[in-house]
Structure 1
Amino acid sequence: MTSQFGARLRQLRLRAGLTQEEMAARSGVGVRTIRGLETGERADPRMVTVRLLADALSLDIAERDDLLAVAIGKPGRALAPAEPVPAEEDPLAEAADQLAQAVRTRWQREEEHRRIHDPFPLPVRWQPVSDDLMDHWANIRRAPAGETAEPVSLDGGLGEIAEVYRRVPSGRLVVLGRAGAGKTILTLRFVLDRLADRGRADPVPVLFGLASWNPATTSLRDWLTGRLVRDHPGLAAPAHGSPTLAAALVDHGWILPVLDGFDELADGLHRPALLALNATTLPLLLTSRPTEFAAAVAGTDVLTAAAGVELTDLSPADWASYLPRSARKLTADDATVWDPILARLRDDPDSLAHLTAVLATPLMVVLARTIYSDSPGRDPGELLDTTRFPIPSAIEDHLLDDFVPTVYRQRPGEQRWDPDHAERWLRLLAAHLHDLGTRDLAWWQLGAGMRRSSRMLWIGLIVGLVNGLLNGVVVAFRYRPIDGLVSGLVAAASVGLAFGLAHGLVGGGALGEPSRTRIHLVSGLRQVRAKIVRRLLAGLAGGLAGGLVLGLTGGLGVELVGGVGNGFASGITSGLSIGLAGGVVFAIMAGLEAPADIRSAVSPGELLAANRTTVLVQLLVCLPVLAVGIGLSFGFADGVVFGVVVGSGLGAGYVLGLTAWGQWLTLSRLWLPLTGKLPWAVLAFLDDAYQRGVLRQAGAVYQFRHARLQDRLTYVR
């Protein structure tokens, strides 16, 4: 729900089986007004509007009075769950249901992978934040002007976070906690608990890592839409008058943003971000470290209508009961490596002050478990050495530094990666993310650390080499070896230069994101018929521009290398013919794209595989068109052969230089391993790091399991 009135209105509308458009027609209230009321953009409905809507919904007297009461900020009575609405009557409700299923599946698997319930979840507790970090309770409870409001209870534990959120009438809650206090685990549990009892009229809680948001350049709604499309490719389809289904879900209040990591925004963006959040009435759950949030509040204002809680430290009893149960039994009486420390905790707790201070957060407890409970032969007693660890931060640094070597030495029989090499590669990846200013480790951005000029040169060399070999071998076989050499040199220079320039110019030189579509011949052909003119014109424009570059460089190459008098003119003619054929190909490729399944929530490997399939199918479908179009410029005798050769070479150039998967091949699978910055099996290495717990999956990208681990790998060499 975006507000109490908005949620009630949507629930009544769905119960009546009406779309927003149908209710607008019945009531005479504009559909934009109805949409704004349901999303909370219009927070104070006029009474005449409420009565018109009540008439359109055919409410009885009690329900009408209840809706009017909610409109002025009074609590309403509970309604029976809405009956399911057929998908054709409310497509956004159906899309929200499918998204909820995908989100639930993803985070259930992630919770299992993180071993949160092994042997049991560490407790996460909280207390209300100080008054200066939270709005007035009258605003939180949406009280009418002139009325006061009593606080609601915010008490609870990890398994009660969804219930605590329900007590907040505004639907806006801030969760503060120091590094490693359990904020991310809390948000994961919140999402799963909300989904477990979600009604069909309720929005879908979706977890977003805030680190990549730049509020100075991108609005919150646009950024949320982009993240949804990235992680759920099916939401890229246009729908409901919006450019994408993701945008429609956000705009119509079907998404409950769970915003994790306000503190991880880039320096200087906390205040603009808080201002942007206050410019909306979206319901949300926001997490942050206390210092960064307090600084943003001091410079702007509190988060409007938001209640707040702050996570508290673990007690010695918490980790003292958890760590022994996570370790192997050493004797028949259930003794473990932690027994000497537990005995000292009972007899002389003051002597464990350093260790107790460190193990006050779930992050440090889990690191200690990994290093000592899960690794035979390791003695946690070394943590009590005050000479080696004179202050608590020294113990924390030790746990962070020892974590990666430990997880790569735990399974010697399954060792694929040398621990020292693995740690060096992970440090380079952490530095790569630091340079990009993000926490998201995306496979299509691994080459972004190279300068644009270096990428242009490298891709031009690879594409030129492929085209030079194809042309050179075929021409030498059909004519003379010297002709093959000349043709190969000209093709390598012209095509390599053209695609090197194209890579540097397309998208301002930034590495493109993978396609969020799939190839579907039947639905794609319908799109071609419907949009053939626009797609063809756009494709021809790009094709002719590229063909002109090919013609100029190819003709110049023939003049200089071959000494042929009409080489320049014939090169331009051939280039324009190639451009026309390429334009038709781009138009067809665009037309064959169809939206992915809405329920498809991808992992990094799945997105890579899907993008590879899309690119290769595009190439296979359109290669005959490209070959025929190019072949016509060579005449009938040589047209077929050279059409296939040149078409294959240009297709390879498009794939390697202009698609996310091709750039992944040329940069991440060739250049970075050649320079020693990554292993040859890059994706296998990343997946292995995920299996070992060094990385975590956040939709289509990886992240380090915690920001502190990434920062430690970045700055400590």
Structure 2
Amino acid sequence: MPDGGRGSWMVPGWLRWAGLLALAVAGVLWALDGEDAAGPMELSERTDLIAMVCAVLGGVAVLATLWRRPEEAEAEAVARLAREVKAIGEPQWTSSLGGDLKAIDVTFAFRPYAGARAAALPASPAGRLEQVVEDYRGLRPRRMVITGAPGAGKTVLARKFVMELNRVRAESEPVPVLVALADWDAGEPFRDWLTRHLQRDYGLPPASARRVVAARMVLPVLDGLDEMDATGTAPDGSRAARALTALGDFQDGTDPAPLVLTCRSSEYDALEAAGSHILDAARLEIAPVTPERARDFLALRGARRPDRWQPLLDDLRDRPSGVLAGALSTPWRLTLAAVAYERDGDPAELLAATSEGEVADRLLARFIWASTVNVPKGVSHYAPERVHRTLRSLALGLGSGHGAETDLVPLDLGRLVPRWGVGAVVVGALTGAALLHVLVLLRWNELVGPARLVTCLGLLIAIVMGLTVGSLPATYFRPPGVPRLGSALWSIGMRRYVRKMPRSWSGAYLLVLLVFLLGAILARSPNALGLMLALCAGAILIVLAFPIAAVAELDRTTAGPVGGLRAFLWLGAYFAGGAALTLVGYAKSQDPLMLTCLGMLLSVGALMEAPCLAYLLYLFLNVRRVPLRLARFLDWSVSAGLMRTSGVAYQFRHREFQEWLVRNPAP
């Protein structure tokens, strides 16, 4: 295989170009003066044949642009991953802080294991959020477990660690990558699971993801060990225990491989008591926020209405061991209080709470309403009752209890639809396509030569696809993410594609398409409709090929969690437009080959669009609970601070908020 990430082709580039040009010239000459099994071809038949070839080559160009991407060298793949981590981490950091760039400077201390060997600690640990990278680099080996109470800021600390280490890391150091542990089962090899998330969350091509993992150039920062099992699950035999066993075997040569892990203190204590913790790691315990730090933070966030906040600030000063101080001892609760009462309401009503849980419930009860009010001007608004109903429906879809999932991927909502429903739609489309081909073969007996061969091939494709529907996973096809209209990403992708187009296969396909169009014009067919359809089909495919090629130059994550859904909708529009064009052509010319083209479009389109069809079925079946424009609502929820993004997934702002929605059906 040639080096440099240029692919595995051993044929010289000039020879490939020569072969394509020869094929194009031969095809045009045969179309202008060719014969089939029945004798000389009419000019109208030649024009129709050219139109079909244009459509096939254009479709191949589109699919090649989507599926074929040159393999990257290791250094290029690592640099790409570092860029994606930076691009994704910055907005996630802002959303995790409720739109404020200043985080509470939490403190922590390294806590020794009860009776097992641990990593060697730095000589003088700083124990502060701003210096967590320096403390980590002082560990030998570099394995760290971040523990703390619920809402203590474990994920915020992990995000800060990833951003800071990625900013100062040397080229020879691995790239820190934050990944949620909730969907991993130790039955899947850890490296395979990590590779899958690099593809899904960070948009790396499969070959690049495998390459950086194999080269040990990824530092996994694994968030949420405590979220792998339901509450009360015994440590022995739990998913978390199996995960820790697998992570203990994760090594770099003969040394333990670096990693970072987050977990609630109580769960990790239970795992440690059962002997399931990771050896040769340092345990970091996040300290509660002191009443003094809480007062400073709330005074800063409540500067718009200082008189309203003063009774609460006085209580934190006078009762440092009281209910309110205990409830507001975590960064999450402090941020929640700031959002809930920053612009409206009386924070002094929290003084009447008799328990920390009651304080949390009062804050969460105001969270949606306050976030809706705080949405910037110019952004769409939703009624708080509707927001509550929709978010609760989505929370229920992720499951209930401590073992519920946290990642909400819009396209994966289709898994909540019965598989037989999606299968019935896809198999119905494939059956319709097969019947079209059978109709052409039975009704037009005079169809001979290449035309009959093409129809038989279409029938075979429909049958094979129908037989494989049940064995295909729900998300087997993952197109690149499509940015929203007006995004600057379009011009970036187009510039990158134009620079590489002369040496790319998609550029060669476009050249072949242009040659065939030139042949269709030179044919001067008396069949004006056939010539018009050939020109229209070729022009549409050429116009579509450029934006799709530009999208292929962008990673899925740059387009956000909705980018993949937009890609399916664009592909659906492409197939629908092609179907409409073939129907018009058949209505005017009664050419049976038009029905063959329609059948092929149905076959390929139905199978490729299966994930999107499942998503649309989910919206249709839940139209009373979720808006039809769900992606727009989710983006609004991120801007409102109710949700956040993680790679190509949405997440609720905090696990406590997600669980509260499940428990509270009414606003």
Q: Please state which band the TM-score falls in when normalised by the shorter chain.
A: 0.5 to 0.7
Shift in Å, 1:616:
5.5
2:221 corresponds to which letter in structure 1?
V
Shift of 1:651: 4.8
**Partner SS state of residue 322, structure 2:** helix
Contact 1:456 1:503 in 2 (8 A): no
1:609 maps to what in 2? 566
CA distance in 1, matches of 2:369, 2:468: 39
- In structure 1, the partner of 2:215 is 252
Q: Distance in 1 between matches of 2:464 and 2:301?
A: 55
Structure 1 contact 452–504 (Cα < 8 Å) conserved: no
**SS at structure 2 position matched to 1:176:** strand
CA–CA separation in structure 2 for the residues paired with 1:411 and 1:600: 27
Is 1:661 the equivalent of 2:628?
no
Contact kept in structure 1, 2:153 and 2:332, CA below 8 Å: yes
Cα distance 1:450–1:500, how it changes in 2: closer, same or farther (>3 A)? Answer: farther
Aligned residues: 505
1:712 to 639, 660, 664: 660
1:226 counterpart (183, 187, 196): 196
Counterpart of 1:700, as a letter, is V
Change in Cα spacing, 1:669 to 1:652, as seen in structure 2 (3 Å) is: farther
Matched, 1:370 2:339: yes
Q: CA deviation at 1:112?
A: 2.9
Contact 1:440 1:701 in 2 (8 A): yes
Distance 1:661 1:523, change over 3 A: farther
**Distance apart, 1:410 and its partner CA:** 4.0
Query: Shift of the alpha carbon at 1:438?
Result: 1.9
Q: Where does residue 581 of structure 1 map in the other structure? A: none
Aligned mates of 1:102, 1:338 — CA distance in 2 = 40
Which one of the candidate residues 264, 271, 290 is aligned to 2:265? 290
Aligned partners of 1:466 and 1:89: how far apart in 2? 38
> Secondary structure at 2:562's aligned position in 1?
helix
Aligned residue runs from structure 1 range 307-326, under 5 A: 307-326=282-301
User: Conserved in 2, the CA contact under 8 Å of 1:444 and 1:513?
Assistant: no
Distance 1:499 1:180, change over 3 A: farther
Equivalent position to 1:100, from 50, 61, 82: 82
How big is the alpha-carbon RMSD for the aligned residues of Structure 1 and Structure 2? 4.2
The match for 1:184 is 155
Q: Secondary structure at the match of 1:211?
A: coil
C-alpha separation between the residues in 1 aligned to 2:173 and 2:380?
A: 47
Task: Mark the runs of 5 or more structure 2 residues left unpaired by the alignment.
Answer: 5-69, 231-237, 252-256, 444-458, 483-492, 510-544
Alignment of 1:56-455 (within 5 A): 91-115=73-97, 118=100, 120-132=102-114, 135-137=116-118, 140-141=119-120, 152-215=123-186, 217-236=187-206, 244-267=207-230, 268-281=238-251, 282-330=257-305, 335-346=306-317, 348-349=318-319, 353-373=322-342, 375-376=343-344, 378-385=345-352, 389-411=353-375, 416-434=381-399, 437-455=404-422
d(CA) in 1 for partners of 2:621 and 2:432?
16
Aligned-partner Cα distance in 2 for 1:275–1:431: 31
Residues 312-711 of structure 1: pairs in structure 2 closer than 5 A: 312-330=287-305, 335-346=306-317, 348-349=318-319, 353-373=322-342, 375-376=343-344, 378-385=345-352, 389-411=353-375, 416-434=381-399, 437-457=404-424, 463=429, 505-507=470-472, 510-512=474-476, 514-516=478-480, 523-524=504-505, 596-597=552-553, 601-602=557-558, 603-613=560-570, 638-656=591-609, 658=610, 660-664=611-615, 666-673=616-623, 676-711=624-659
Distance 1:258 1:119 in 2: 22
Identity %: 26
Partner-residue secondary structure (3-state), 1:93: helix
CA deviation after TM superposition for structure 1 residue 418, in Å = 2.3
Q: Is the 8 A contact 2:575 2:601 kept in 1?
A: no
TM-fit CA distance, 1:525? 6.3
Contact 1:162 1:194 in 2 (8 A): yes
1:460–1:276: structure 2 CA closer, same or farther, 3 Å change rule? same
- Separation in 1, partners of 2:580, 2:202: 30
What does 1:14-25 correspond to in 2, within 5 Å? none
Look up the match of 1:56.
none
- How far apart are residue 708 of structure 1 and its match? 1.4
- Tell me the distance in 1 between the aligned counterparts of 2:556 and 2:634: 21
**Partners of 2:469 and 2:177 in 1: CA distance:** 35
What is the TM-score normalised by the length of structure 2?
A: 0.67
Taking a change above 3 Å as real, the CA distance of residues 339 and 682 of structure 1, as seen in their structure-2 partners, is same
SS in 1 for 2:651: strand
1:425-461 CA deviation, whole Å, 9 max, x = no partner?
A: 1111001011694211011111212222344346667
The code of the aligned residue for 2:350 comes to: L
Q: 1:702 is matched by which residue type in structure 2? A: Y
Contact 1:275 1:300 in 2 (8 A): no
Change (3 A) 1:153 1:339: same
In the alignment, is the contact (CA less than 8 A) between 2:88 and 2:646 conserved in 1? no
Deviations 1:291-337 (A, max 9, x none): 2222223334431211111001001111111112112434xxxx342
Q: What is the one-letter code of the residue matched to 1:663? A: A
Shift of 1:403: 1.3
- Counterpart of 1:256, as a letter, is L
- How many Å apart are 1:663 and its aligned residue? 3.2
Please report how far the alpha carbon of residue 290 of structure 1 lies from its aligned counterpart in structure 2 after TM superposition: 1.3
Q: Distance in 1 between matches of 2:281 and 2:336?
A: 33
Label 1:305 to 1:608 Cα distance change in 2 as closer, same or farther (>3 A).
same
CA deviations over 1:368-415 (Å, ceiling 9, x no partner): 011111x32x00110011xxx221111112222331233224459766
1:12-57 Cα shifts (integer Å, max 9, x gaps): xxxxxx99xxxxxxxxxxxxxxxxxxxxxxxxxxxxxxxxxxxxxx
Deviation at 1:89, TM superposition (A): 14
Does the Cα contact within 8 Å between 1:234 and 1:597 map onto a contact in 2? no
Does the CA contact (< 8 Å) of 1:208 and 1:258 recur in 2? yes
TM-score where L is the length of structure 1:
0.62
